[in-house]
Chains A and B, each alone.
Chain A
Amino acid sequence: MFSAPQFWADVVKIIMIDLLLSGDNAVVIALACRNLPPDQRRKGILFGVGGAIGLRIVLTFFAVSLLALPYLKLIGALLLIWIGIKLILPEDEHTESNIKADARLIGAIKTIIVADFVMSLDNVLGVAAAAKGNVSLLVFGLLISIPLIAWSSQLVLKLIDRFPYIIYAGGALLGYVAGEMLVSEVLLAPLVEAQHQLHWLIPASCALLVLVIGKWLAMRRLVMSEVVNLVDGKVSVMPDKQG
């Protein structure tokens, strides 16, 4: 297994998906625990990280068993294409939450768990699709994602800043994985068996689809993420010459 090039290609795919869809769990955990009293903060972070990891594991195996059902691969593939397009699209600045920051431990943990649930879905679906039912790949994908949950997501921001095209590569990859999932859909099996070139043609077209739609929508939205001015301060010292 470890000598097969296909295995290593899948490993690279999973690392990439994990990195780009690692989500902002670390940020939410840090921010949700900010308003806690200091002695509870550590507890909150600990529970938050633990809960996020546990949730990620449960969701992954849930996703894998769901994807084994007919029709659901179809839906999964469509979702993945959408996730890929969203990755390429620039940030929509208008979303804003009005959830009050909770100063109690239980409130902070609730926020973290709900956020983890929502933010893990794309990652879980991507990794489940890329692993194609291979358990060791799934476990590997989970192991890679755990440090990304616990650490700051500045790493991903810096990577994208250094290599802006990484999001296009990621989008195309998600499209490709979606295509691979389509190919393995039972409903399409007779068609794929008859036309053997579809095995690579469908994934490739899905990758292209994500790139084209993503780029097109991005151009329509064309807003550079702006620099926000937050604090402006002045300290004046007039040592000798006064008046």
Chain B
Amino acid sequence: MKTERQASISKILIPLDGSSSAEHAVDYVIRHMDTLKQPPTLLLLNVQWKIATGNVKLFINQDTINDYYREQGMAALQQARVALDEARLSYQYHISVGTPAEAIVQYAREQEVDQIVMCRQGEGGLKTLLLGSVVAKVLHLAECPVLLVK
């Protein structure tokens, strides 16, 4: 558990998967910026599934694989970056490769964020049942408060 160093929220992490619902979280943060005393540091994160494993690495070199991750990751961050640029807010962005929920929680820990803001995904149904939801896993693993935006 993280100790309460500061009373106010100074670092917010917004994980993005490139879906339009994920952008709700960004919109929410932009709209509620005024309610915070200090403008917080905004961190955007996209996690790419590590699709290139063992066999793939035999045939494709790491540079090509990394270029692919980078391209996919930047595309997923694009919409949020445009929104933040328009709102004239500073932010940091980050792309990591791994399992989404674990990577989100790990990054939040490394950066000592005060809050994770995510969208409660509207996917639902069979897909969530079979594949699980990143949100549920983050809620379970996170060491800081998680704000779910509808």
- A interface residues with partner B (beta carbon < 8 Å): 23-24, 27-28, 30-32, 34-35, 91-92, 95-101, 111, 114-115, 118-119, 152-155, 157-159, 161-162, 225-239
Instruction: Decide: A226 and B130 in contact? CB cutoff 8 A.
Output: no
* CB-nearest residue of chain B to A162: B132
- What is the CA–CA distance of A115 and B53 in the complex, to the nearest angstrom? 13
Q: Is the CB of B85 within 8 A of A115?
A: no
In the complex, which residue of chain A has the Cβ closest to the Cβ of B51? A27
Q: If the complex has contacts A34-B68, A162-B132, A230-B95, are A91 and B61 also in contact, measured as CB distance less than 8 A?
A: no
Q: Is there contact, CB below 8 Å, between A31 and B52?
A: yes
**Is A230's CB under 8 angstroms from B96's CB?**
yes
A–B pairs, 30, beta carbons within 8 Å: A24-B53, A24-B55, A28-B59, A31-B64, A34-B68, A92-B54, A96-B62, A97-B58, A98-B61, A101-B61, A101-B64, A111-B60, A115-B59, A118-B58, A153-B51, A157-B50, A158-B132, A161-B99, A225-B99, A226-B98, A228-B50, A229-B94, A230-B69, A230-B95, A230-B97, A231-B70, A231-B73, A231-B95, A232-B94, A234-B91
In the complex formed, the residue of B with least CB distance to A160 is B99
Q: How far is the CA of A191 from the CA of B85 in the complex (A)?
A: 75
The residue from A35, A231, A239 contacting B94, defined by CB atoms under 8 A apart: A231
Among B50, B55, B90, max chain A CB count under 10 A is at B55
Cα-based distance from A163 to B88 in the complex (angstroms): 42
| Chain B contact residues: helix, strand, loop or mixed | helix
B63 near A: Cβ within 8 Å? yes
CA distance A101 to B65 in the complex (A): 10
Q: How far is the CA of A145 from the CA of B106 in the complex (A)?
A: 35
User: What's the least CB distance linking A124 to chain B, in Å?
Assistant: 14
Q: Which residues of A contact B66 (CB under 8 A)?
A: 230
Chain B 43-58, CB-CB to A under 8 Å as 1, else 0, gives 0000111111111111
B93 at the interface (CB under 8 A from A): yes
Q: Is the CB of B59 within 8 A of A32?
A: yes
A236 touches B90 (CB 8 A): yes
Which partner residue on chain A sits nearest B137 by CB separation? A161
Q: Is the CB of B131 within 8 A of A162?
A: yes
- Chain B, residues 80-120, CB within 8 Å of chain A (1/0): the string is 01001100111111111111001100110000000000000
With a CB–CB cut-off of 8 A, which chain B residues contact A34?
64, 67-68
Q: Within the assembled complex, what's the spacing in Å between the Cα atoms of A178 and B90?
A: 58
On whether the beta carbons of B50 and A235 are closer than 8 Å, the reply is no
Q: Which residues of B contact A100 (CB under 8 A)?
A: 61
- Interface pair A95/B57, CB less than 8 Å apart: yes
A99 to B56, CA, bound (A): 11
- List B contacts of A97 (CB < 8 A): 57-62
Known: A118-B55, A239-B88. 4 other contacts (CB 8 A): A23-B55, A32-B60, A154-B51, A228-B96
Task: List residues of chain A with CB within 8 A of the CB of B60.
Answer: 28, 31-32, 97, 99, 101, 111
Q: Is B74's beta carbon under 8 Å from chain A?
A: yes
> Chain B residue with minimal CB distance to A98?
B61
A235 touches B85 (CB 8 A): yes
Complex Cα–Cα for A227 and B141 (A) = 15
Contact B89 A228 (CB under 8 A): no
Residues of A within 8 A of B64 (CB): 31, 34-35, 101
With both beta carbons as reference points, the residue of chain B lying nearest to A155 in the complex is identified as: B131
Closest partner residue, chain B, to A236 (CB atom): B90
Chain A nearest Cβ from B132, distance in angstroms: 4
Residues of the B chain whose Cβ atoms lie less than 8 Å from the Cβ of A95? 54, 57-58
